[in-house]
Amino acid sequence: MDDDVQRQARSFGSVAERYHRGRPAFPRDAARWLAGADPTTVLELGAGTGKLTAELVDLGHDVHATEPDADMLAVLRRTLPDVPTSQAPAEEIPLTDRSVDVVVVAQAFHWFDHDRALPEIARVLRPGGHLALTWNLRDERIPWVRKLGALLGSPGSETTDSTQALVQSDLFGFVEEKDFHFWQGVDRDSILDMAASRSYVATLDDEAREAKLAEVLAFYDDYGRGMDGMQLPYDCRCYRARVIDRPERGEPEPEDDTDTPADPQPRERSDGQVSDGTDTDMLLIDFR
């Protein structure tokens, strides 16, 4: 992760309150698909201010939320005081081996060091458990939303394309994908909060940031409807993959006997005699 990306990854604490006010929630159906319909034990990594956490709790899941930024975590703790939390990065999960059924990451997987985080996630998952990832992405097929994206910076390949780290990992199985479309109501205040909470905007200097927010406000005045606000379309893009079960630490690896040939089975020849497969009238085909 280069210095500029690290600076953006650490920028959210300075805009934590605006992030919580301006960012969209996650659809209930998406939360159900990510963590499952039945209440279970869920670890949420990079939980931010708790935008997805609240949905998971409402579905009845037993959620432990972790977030490396103290200011973001403070908002989550204030709004969801009953949720167990830890200030910790995804690369150093403060839970024991095989202690959760689901690990969920919303809007944050692209900030992780995948080489370190994925083994940690696999470590804390119980056999049969799964990792679920999600991002809320503006639907920029609509022209006016595309213009807003040009002002704010559209999500790049570092977001959903980061799922390739999961696809290529030998710690997880097949990656499923599902999208959920929804709308977020925004007004003159919340569109500024949403814009200010973008890492690209948060890391600008004061003068450049104020200029950018003035552009967003002018855009809203052109396209919005005053006190009625506007409906901003989103796609909630979701992924999930089951962990590949491995022995616990200290357990011996299962013996691999795939290289040991099976005893050859006698075969009956056309002349009625039994062949062990070594005679020349047998056609041996290697299908490997």
Tens digit of each residue's pLDDT, the chain (288 residues): 555 555 554 555 568 999 899 999 999 999 999 999 999 999 999 999 999 999 999 999 999 999 999 999 999 999 999 999 999 999 999 999 999 999 999 999 999 999 999 999 999 999 999 999 999 999 999 899 999 888 887 665 557 789 999 999 999 999 999 999 999 999 989 999 998 888 777 777 889 889 989 999 999 988 866 666 889 999 999 999 999 987 765 555 555 444 444 444 444 444 444 444 444 443 333 333
d(CA 121, CA 109): 12
Domain 3-139+153-184+231-242: give its CATH superfamily: Vaccinia Virus protein VP39 (3.40.50.150)
Q: DSSP assignment of the chain, as one string?
A: --HHHHHHHT-GGGGHHHHHHHS----HHHHHHHH-SS--EEEEES-TTSTTHHHHHHTT-EEEEE-S-HHHHHHHHHH-TTS-EE---TTS--S-TT-EEEEEEES-GGGS-HHHHHHHHHHHEEEEEEEEEEEEEE-TTSHHHHHHHHHH----TTSGGGGHHHHT-TTB-PPEEEEEEEEEEE-TTHHHHHHHTSHHHHTS-HHHHHHHHHHHHHHHHHHS-GGG-EEEEEEEEEEEEEBPP-PPTTSPPPP--TTSPPPPPPEE-TTS-EE-S-STT-------
- CA 218 from centroid of its chain's CA atoms: 33
d(CA 223, CA 229): 9
d(CA 134, CA 15): 21
d(CA 99, CA 129): 10
Q: Are 224 and 230 in contact (CB under 8 A)?
A: yes
Residue 174: name the closest of 246, 103, 245, 243 by CA. Answer: 243
